[in-house]
Amino acid sequence: MEYYLYIKALHLIFVITWFAGLFYIPRLFVYHIEANLKPEPEKSILVPQLQLMTRRLWYIITWPSAILASLFAFWLLYLMPIWLDQDWMVVKLGFVVLLYMYHYKCHLIFKELQNNVVKWSSNQMRLWNEGSTLILFAVIFLVVVRDAVNWIYGVIGIFLLSVILMLGFKMYKRIRSKNPNA
C-alpha cells in the first residue's frame, strides 16, 4: 500500500495519454480520407505524411498508453480487490471493455488506411470520433459519483450528450457544405 498513490497517478497519466491518442487518431483518419480525394501531387504528398503521423501516434503513444494504463489498473485492483465487489467498478470495467473494442476498431481502420484502403467517409469518421468522448464521460461520472441511483441520471446524461454531439455534427456538416474550408 506504500506505493498505492504512485500507481494510481501513473494509471491516470496513461489513461489520459491513451484518450489523447484515441481523440486524435480519428482526426488523422479524417485528414487521410480527405487527402485521398485531393488531386496530384497534393495527394501523393499528404497521404504518406499522414500515414507516418498516424503510425507514430498509434504505436508510440496510443498502444503503449493503453497497455500501461491497464497494467497499472490491474495492479490497483490487486492492491484493492474490494473494489471488484462494488457495482460502480463492475460497470466501469464494462466501459473499459467497450473502450478496448473502440480501440481495436480504430486499429482495424488504421491498418486499412496504412494500406490505402478507404472504406469510411470523412463525415462517418467525424461521427466515429465521438465514441471515445462518450466513453470518457461515462467512466469519469461513474468513478466520481459511484452512486447507483445516480447511474440512471448518468445514462440519461450520456444519452443527452450523444444527442448534443449529433446535433453539433449536423450543424458542422451544414456549415462545411456552405464553406468547404471551415
User: CA 146, CA 164: separation in Å to the nearest integer?
Assistant: 24
C-alpha cell belonging to residue 90: 463492475
Which amino acid does the sequence have at 95?
Answer: F
**43 known ligand binder:** no
32 is known to lie in a ligand binding site: no
Question: Can you tell me the distance from the alpha carbon of 161 to that of 21, in angstroms, rounded to the nearest whole number?
Answer: 21
Helix (H) or strand (E) holding 170: helix 148-178
Instruction: Report d(CA 98, CA 139) in Å as an integer.
Output: 11
DSSP class of residue 37 equals T
* Residue type, position 69, single letter: A
> Which residue matches cell numbers 472504406?
119
Alpha carbon distance 82, 79 (integer Å): 9
Q: How many CB atoms lie within 10 A of CB 60?
A: 11
Binding-site entries for heme = 11, 92
Binding-site entries = 11, 92
